Amino acid sequence: MTSRVRRRTLLAFIGPSVLALALIGIGPLIFAIWTSLHFYNLTKLKQVHFTGLENYVTVLTDPIFWDAMGRTFLLLGIALPVQIALGLGTALLLHQPGLGFLKTLTRLALVLPMATTYAVVGLLGQVMFNVKYGVVNQLLGFLGFDQINWIGDPDNAFIAVVFWDVWQWTPFVALVLLAGLTTVPGEIEEAARLETKSWWKVLRYVQLPFLVPGLVAVLILRTADTLKLFDMVFTMTRGGPGNATEFISLLIQRVGFRAFDQGLASAQAIILLVITIVLSQIYIRVFYKEVR
Amino acid sequence: MGLRSFVSMGALALALTAGSAARVSAWSLEEAAKPYAGTTVDVVFLLRPGYEAAEQMIPEFTEKTGININITKLPYENALGEQVRDFVAGGDLDIALIDLVWIGNFAENGWIVPAETFTSNPDLADPDLDMEDFFPLVLNAFGGWGDTIYGLPFDNYSGLLFYNKCMLQDAGFDGPPQTWTDVMEVYGPALTKDGKYAYALQSKRNETQSADSFARFLWPFGGSFLDDTFHSNLMSPESQAGLKFRQDLMKYMPDGIVSYDHAEAVNALAQGDVAFITEWSAFYSTLKNPDTSQITDCLGIAPEPTGPAGRKPALGGFSLAVASQADEKEQAAAWLFIQWVTSKANAETYLRKGGVPARQSVYEKPGIAEEFDFVPALVESWQEGVPEFRPRFAEWPEITEIVQEWGTKMMLGEVTTEEGAQEIGDRMEAVLDKAGYYDGSKPLLQ
Amino acid sequence: MAADARAIAPGQGGRLAVQALLLLLIVLFCVFPFYWMVTTSLKTQIIALQEPPAWIFHPTLSNYAEVLFDDGVGRTLINSLIIAICTTILAVGLGCPAAYALARFEFRGKKDLWFWFITNRMVSPIVLALPFFLIVRQIGLLDTHLVLILIYLTFNLPIVIWICTDQFRSIPYDLDEAALLEGASQWRIFRSICLPLAMPGVAVSAIFSFIFSWNELMYALVLTRKTAKTAPAMAVSFMEGYNLPYGKIMATSTLIVIPVLIFALIASRQLVRGLTMGAVK
């Protein structure tokens, strides 16, 4: 339930946040937009000039940009369903009665992946997936499989990235969904369980509506974060071998930080922002309809 | 004139000469630094042995001059970005650490001060500076742009052939390969067996690919990045021969070589997995250290193999120059430091602490070549290199990204050497065109 | 939780065993890389690069000693702590009232405002790093704690607002109504009634805010040098590429993870209750 309040009260509650974000965030954003409309290269500052939408055209017609976008969405398309499936499974397991100690242990263990610095995860990936002294290959050997060249092979490097993304964020999904499960009123759940033995039916008809907001949150956050994914991939593969793991943020970093073409990088980032906003709006419209 | 007056005139003349001679040789660091005592000089250092050596020497400098050196340590990958941002935003750095491929960039943007400003100043210039004592190739490549010298060579490398003597002996060789042809036809097949490989070429998709992998197989085969008109020379028969040679040589290299960076290649040799590598001279200490290497007694060092066009070893290194954004005092103090740390007198100290100076005189001292076994190979390598091993102009950051991308794609077999070279060539020319090299607005300097 | 109060029916032993096994697998999956990280931090370089990798070896604390005493990692950990705590306090302090307003007040453009808050988290820091650098340098705040505390607000505030808005929404309105009838101000209601009830959400958003600030790298690399250098920036600076000191890097990383773990441990109960994200309307 909401109520109308005096404008002063409203400003008092919301004002500081808006002010803080506006002051801190607006300046750089405007700078980014401005540079995206200019030729702006840090090592050629004497040649800064207005170029209008030229940077945007360059970006949108550059096959490398679309390759990187495609790769990023492929990553999202593979990693996200896996995270949701595993996360949901974990949440359901944790929602069951009994095994109190084990459940607490699991909840604690779930915090570990999220708490590890992303850049370190990448380096850990290098160590663990190393073709010679990596423990993953050693374990594969125990199970009777061949040694796999992870980081040196384009496809395997991609899989390694998917693996770490899943490792790091499934716990987040699991916790969000678990929280959603706890909001299902106990009586309804019990009644449903008395009616059917199928956990799937209980999930689909009783629990799902309560999980939707959490799912939407996960969708939006993971999409935004995958589009910004940088640290982990950079330290593990640098975007290689070749282009295999060059996701969109790595491309932007290459253009902005290595070639110093800030104008182009800004254009790429703005386009990325627009895409993220559009996708988020779609998620909200499509999914929240069910709840509202 | 009588004899007496003659003698007294002579005595006077003698006294005057002696007096002025005394004044000339009275330049000392302490005197020169007096006006600048208490100044702080800011510089960026890398996390490499040469810099640690310098760091150990700094207390002596500060004691003599009262000048403080404030060091910010960065990994190589961030060093360029940090300095560029600092210079653009008018920051604190007083000394520029210049990788040889950055010199065009820094010089054209006016961020560094020509050395002459200081060498022509009798208050600051050390009469023992002796620029001629620097290896000409190194001085020119690391510190010079066009006809001007900006910086003095500080952290100096050459590509060297590090090899496992024992592995070679076991395979029946009594010496390292002299030519790349030998490598391909004789050493490669003989040493690649039983899970071991003959050679590892660091090729990771960063500056390593451009400098270590790509360029290394262009020059010895007669190829180059650009021709005289600054158009791409990668499609020339020589360049193609070199690139194809590299592709072919991959069969004697470990799998996944494209993901090998310096650490992996050095480690492969150190663990006894490959027979030889061509790596930067700085890795000598890693390979000689029993904590990090298993082949300390089997380590052999030689200059890189020659190709049809001769020996063109990989060239890399850093010079120190004075930053133009520093104020007058800081500039003077900075110059005094740069001059001191790269001086003839300090070269041996620098060498003993783990650095690699670029002074010819230090390597000619008796006993040095025996004590540091990389010296003969190093000195020989620095006789024959090319300064534009990688073009050093301001457009290099953009171009190296292109080379890295397509160079690795070539190695992965995603494009042929012709297709890759064509792509690099086209994109490179687009960059150079936009920069104005083709319509004459920019001089053809690399 | 009502669900937990359900009795375990007889004959469910087998099911329980399967559940236990699955939970163990999950724990293993989460913990194994961390275990590898810690053991690597106890190895010397030669052992770390051994082929095949060593499970049993002679551990050494030299990496930790070096990292803490020679390389100054301790200082960076303190910096990270200061920055993460301050920005979390700020984010929660600013975000809770805003979340309350979004949950309880009616006004035009509410949905859009909520969305604007969220979008702040979507811009790539890579591109904003340069303008931030230029601006920060101008006002002379480079390499200070304050600058990171403020900049981290841009992605912490949205999370706090998101989580807390939903948490506030799920609080029954009757208590509010009662208080309003007694003439209490909105602020009173917020502070005395709703905030305590929303603690799980607040705690969770504080944890996430802390974690994200703690692990942030890009801005820390660009905007700090020595004084305010954070621990992740320090860990990365070991990755020179020439000679990767795996032991030292892993030691630094382990040190980085521990405070977060402690923080999460303390608040782990709240972790789940607070993440409802709008499930209850």
- Distance of residue A186 Cα from the nearest chain C Cα, in angstroms: 5
Let me know if residue C16 belongs to a domain: no
CB contact under 8 A, C276 and A214: yes
Give me the residue from B258, B273, B394 closest to A240, CB to CB.
Answer: B258
Provide Rg for chain A, Cα atoms: 23
Q: What class does CATH assign to B158-315+388-435?
A: alpha beta
Instruction: Determine the Cα–Cα distance for residues B315 and B317; give it in Å rounded to an integer.
Output: 7
| pLDDT the model gives residue B443 | 82
CB contact under 8 A, B292 and C222: no
- Distance of residue C185 Cα from the nearest chain B Cα, in angstroms: 50
Contact A289/A81 with Cβ under 8 angstroms?
Answer: no
CB contact under 8 A, A183 and C16: no
| Other residues' Cβ atoms within 10 Å of the Cβ of residue B427 | 18
Provide mean pLDDT across the span B369-381.
Answer: 89
Selected residue of C49, C63, C242, C248 to mutate for chain B interface (largest B Cβ count, 10 A): C242
Provide Rg for chain C, Cα atoms: 23
- Give residue-wise pLDDT tens across range B69-125: 999 888 888 899 889 999 988 888 999 999 999 999 999 999 999 999 999 988 888
By the 10 Å C-beta count (0-12 exposed, 13-18 middle, 19+ buried), C266 is classed as: exposed
CB pairs under 8 A between B and C: 54
| pLDDT the model gives residue C12 | 62
Contact map slice: C 183-242 vs B, CB within 8 A: 221-222, 225-226, 236-242
Crossing angle of helices A100-115 and C199-215, in 10° steps, is 40
| pLDDT the model gives residue B69 | 93
Given CB atoms, is C46 within the 8 Å cutoff of chain B? Answer: yes
Instruction: Determine the Cα–Cα distance for residues B431 and B98; give it in Å rounded to an integer.
Output: 22
CB contact under 8 A, B105 and A237: no
Contact map slice: C 228-247 vs A, CB within 8 A: 231-232, 235-236, 239, 244, 246
Selected residue of C27, C115, C124 to mutate for chain A interface (largest A Cβ count, 10 A): C124
pLDDT band at B423 (very low <50, low <70, confident <90, very high): very high
Q: Which residues of A touch C218 (CB under 8 A)?
A: 230-231
- Distance of residue B312 Cα from the nearest chain C Cα, in angstroms: 23
- Distance of residue C77 Cα from the nearest chain A Cα, in angstroms: 13
Selected residue of A35, A40, A43, A235 to mutate for chain B interface (largest B Cβ count, 10 A): A43
Provide mean pLDDT across the span B211-229.
Answer: 92
Q: Which residues pair with B44 in a beta bridge?
A: B72
Q: Which residues of A touch C180 (CB under 8 A)?
A: 3
User: Is the model more confident about C111 or about B210?
Assistant: B210
Is the pLDDT assigned to residue B248 strictly greater than 90? yes
| CA nearest to B259, candidates B321, B203, B338, B328 | B203
Contact B86/B195 with Cβ under 8 angstroms?
Answer: no
pLDDT band at B4 (very low <50, low <70, confident <90, very high): low
Given CB atoms, is C276 within the 8 Å cutoff of chain A? Answer: yes
- Give residue-wise pLDDT tens across range C41-87: 888 877 777 777 778 888 888 888 888 887 788 889 999 999 999 99
B contact chains, 3+ CB pairs < 8 A: A, C
Chain C residue nearest residue B75, CA to CA = C240
Share of residues in chain C with pLDDT > 70 (%): 89
- Give residue-wise pLDDT tens across range B286-332: 888 887 788 988 999 999 999 999 898 888 899 999 999 999 999 99
- Give residue-wise pLDDT tens across range B23-36: 445 788 888 888 88
| pLDDT the model gives residue B96 | 95
Is the pLDDT assigned to residue C266 strictly greater than 80? no
Let me know if residue C36 belongs to a domain: no
CB contact under 8 A, A280 and C119: yes
Q: Which residues pair with B313 in a beta bridge?
A: none
Give me the residue from C26, C31, C153 closest to A24, CB to CB.
Answer: C153
Q: Which residues of A touch C150 (CB under 8 A)?
A: 20, 24
Contact map slice: A 175-234 vs C, CB within 8 A: 175-176, 178-187, 189-190, 210-211, 213-214, 217, 220-221, 224, 227-228, 230-231
Give me the residue from C27, C98, C261 closest to A105, CB to CB.
Answer: C27
CB contact under 8 A, B89 and C137: yes
Q: Which residues of C touch B78 (CB under 8 A)?
A: 221
* Residue range(s) defining the domain that contains residue C140: 73-273
User: Is the model more confident about C28 or about A133?
Assistant: C28
Q: Which residues of B touch C130 (CB under 8 A)?
A: 85
Given CB atoms, is C157 within the 8 Å cutoff of chain A? Answer: yes
| pLDDT the model gives residue A119 | 84
**Helix, strand, coil % over all residues of chain C, rounded to 5:** 75, 0, 25
**Helix, strand, coil % over all residues of chain B, rounded to 5:** 55, 15, 30
CB contact under 8 A, B273 and A132: yes
Q: What are phi and psi of B443, to 5 degrees?
A: -70, 150
Q: Which residues of B touch C46 (CB under 8 A)?
A: 291-292, 294
Let me know if residue C44 belongs to a domain: no
| pLDDT the model gives residue A108 | 82
pLDDT in tens, chain A (292 residues): 567 777 788 888 888 999 999 988 888 889 999 999 999 888 888 888 898 899 999 999 999 899 999 999 999 999 999 999 999 999 888 888 777 788 888 888 888 888 888 888 888 888 888 877 788 888 888 888 888 888 888 889 999 999 999 999 999 899 888 888 877 778 888 888 888 777 777 787 788 887 888 888 888 888 888 888 998 998 888 777 778 899 999 999 888 888 888 899 999 999 989 998 998 888 888 876 644 3
Provide Rg for chain B, Cα atoms: 24
| A285's tokens | 């419209």
Selected residue of A258, A261, A262 to mutate for chain B interface (largest B Cβ count, 10 A): A258
User: Is the model more confident about C12 or about A54?
Assistant: A54
Chain C residue nearest residue B283, CA to CA = C242
Give me the residue from B74, B85, B263 closest to C244, CB to CB.
Answer: B263
Contact B33/B63 with Cβ under 8 angstroms?
Answer: no
CB contact under 8 A, C241 and B85: no
User: CA dihedral in degrees (A90, A92, A98, A102; nearest 10)?
Assistant: 10
Query: What string of DSSP letters covers B264-318?
Result: HHHHHHHTTSEEEEEEEGGGHHHHH-TTT-S-GGGEEEEEPPBBTTB----EEEE
Instruction: Determine the Cα–Cα distance for residues A253 and A119; give it in Å rounded to an integer.
Output: 15
Give me the residue from B206, B257, B394 closest to A238, CB to CB.
Answer: B206
Let me know if residue C180 belongs to a domain: yes
Q: What are the boundaries of each domain within chain B?
A: 29-157+316-386, 158-315+388-435
Q: Which residues pair with B277 in a beta bridge?
A: B162, B200
CB contact under 8 A, B255 and A258: no
| pLDDT the model gives residue C11 | 56
CB pairs under 8 A between A and B: 64
| CA nearest to B364, candidates B132, B133, B53, B127 | B133
Let me know if residue C51 belongs to a domain: no
**What SS3 class is residue B80?**
helix
| Other residues' Cβ atoms within 10 Å of the Cβ of residue B246 | 23
- Distance of residue A32 Cα from the nearest chain C Cα, in angstroms: 7
pLDDT band at B3 (very low <50, low <70, confident <90, very high): low
CATH for C96: 1.10.3720.10
Q: Which residues of A touch B105 (CB under 8 A)?
A: 43
- Distance of residue A39 Cα from the nearest chain B Cα, in angstroms: 12
Contact A32/C131 with Cβ under 8 angstroms?
Answer: yes
The CATH fold of domain B29-157+316-386: D-Maltodextrin-Binding Protein; domain 2 (3.40.190)
CB contact under 8 A, A167 and C33: yes
CB pairs under 8 A between A and C: 322
Q: Which residues of C touch B77 (CB under 8 A)?
A: 241
| CA nearest to C26, candidates A115, B209, A110 | A110
| pLDDT the model gives residue B10 | 56
Let me know if residue C207 belongs to a domain: yes
The CATH fold of domain A61-291: MetI-like fold (1.10.3720)
Contact map slice: C 39-78 vs A, CB within 8 A: 40, 48-53
Q: How far apart are the first and last CA of chain B?
A: 65
Share of residues in chain B with pLDDT > 70 (%): 94
Let me know if residue C42 belongs to a domain: no
Chain A residues whose C-beta is within 8 A of a chain B C-beta are 42-45, 131-132, 149, 151-154, 157, 237-243, 254, 257-261
